[in-house]
Structure 1
Amino acid sequence: MSLRKVRSLPSLRVLAEVSNPLVRVPPPSFTYQTRQVHNTKKNEHSPMLSSDSHASFTRMSLKTLKNECRTRGLKVSGKKTELVERILLFEGSSSKKLHTSAIQRAKNDSSHIDSMKIPNVAKLEAEAESRKTDYIVKVPSIVNNAATEPKTKIEKDYEKKLQPADKKPLAENVGTVATPDADNVIQTPSVSDSIKVVNPEEELRSGSSEQGRSYSQQDEELTSRDKKFLLGFAGTVAAWWSLRFWKKEESKK
């Protein structure tokens, strides 16, 4: 390509845009790169120790400085420079105390404990006892009134069964049992009225006589049965023989 053709390229591009306005040649793309640097402003770590604190206190009047000393508990008398020095010294010492919890009276103490408070043991024990009494449930004693009247249906039925035999209610059949402690008495229902004391010899004799009676009754029952059986058997045999004999006589005739 010659130099003349190269020079004529811009003019040809313009003529093409004029002849065909709908067709536009896109502009050349340029890439931009930007770099931004962040700059953080420097701040003082403790504003009470800044260089402007001295200037701020020196600008104050004598009356305001006295008020500042009075609020900090410092001495009020003196010149302006003395008041400023007192305030600055106080601010410096207070800034150091922000990061420590040591007490002044424990300076020479090598222990790691700053202070210790002994609790009131008597007060704590009284509080514990009061808490215990709050949770105690007082149940009324029902030992003396337990056997007066039957409450449940089973007890009522049991009392009805015992009344015809004892002719006394269940509440009256109550005995006492002695304990090592004389103040305590255990009440128990007494069943001595329903117990019968039996002589063993008489019991054996009555048992043997009852057994003999039962055996004799069984013998009598067996003999009557045997008699009935024998009579029935004899009757059947006689009837059978009589029928046989009757048949033979008829055959002879």
Structure 2
Amino acid sequence: MHTIMEQLLRIPAVLERSSIGKESGDITAALSLSSAFPPSYIEFLTRYGGVKLFREGFGYQMAVLPTPMKVDDDDYGDLYQFGWYHDSFCYFSPTFMKPGAESPVYEIDDGELVMVAPSFSEWFSRGATALLSQQPLMGEGELAVTFSEQEQAIVRRRTQYQWHITGRTEKFVVINMTNLSDATLDFITIGVRSIDRSLNGAVRVDVRDLAVGMSKDIPLDCYSELVHPSQVELFNLPEPSPATRSMYFEFQ
């Protein structure tokens, strides 16, 4: 676990560390919820704090939260969510937690609680190693191609689409979007994050039929398979740059 983490610390582009660390006392307070958190997990948080690894779009493929969250699952009762891997949250089950001993790591797959690793240490090492091996080799000093004239117009026009949230359902966050631009774009990218900040991403808003000067309500599925619409926030993303154009649906 420490070998792969020390390797990742030398590659800042693939890692984001949380500002919450051992010195804040938050880790100690969170872990006091249970004396049975696995030793390798406690050691990781004490040494590194929370981390997010391998950016994919506006989110990350793997994360260890700065503090564990106790959740009440309808089928499996209390679980401690400590992070995620790809699209699945990862948990410790109090049923299998014993003081001073390692605990299996679980995911919920199609409603079933499935063990994916015998310990936190193995979960982290295996997952991070697999993701690191998939990263493309990038030459240092690579420069992104500058925006074309058409792309510059997209950057300008996307800021002239205004929106606000008008409602939420069991699956969708509903926004009202107004096109105050002088043309019609195909898509607008809006940032999405969960209230607890465990999820960060973006949603594509189809505005192809939103003519200049028009407004309409648009339902958006904001990772409803991972988090309830009542627990997400929408926000405007920073202005695209040539280096980040691939993260914005406007340029696709």
- Normalised-by-shorter TM-score class: under 0.3
Per the normalisation by structure 2, the TM-score is 0.16
Per the normalisation by structure 1, the TM-score is 0.16
Who wins on radius of gyration, i.e. which is larger? Answer: 1
Higher helix share: 1
Higher strand share: 2
Where relative contact order (Cα < 8 A, 6+ residues apart) is larger, the structure is 2
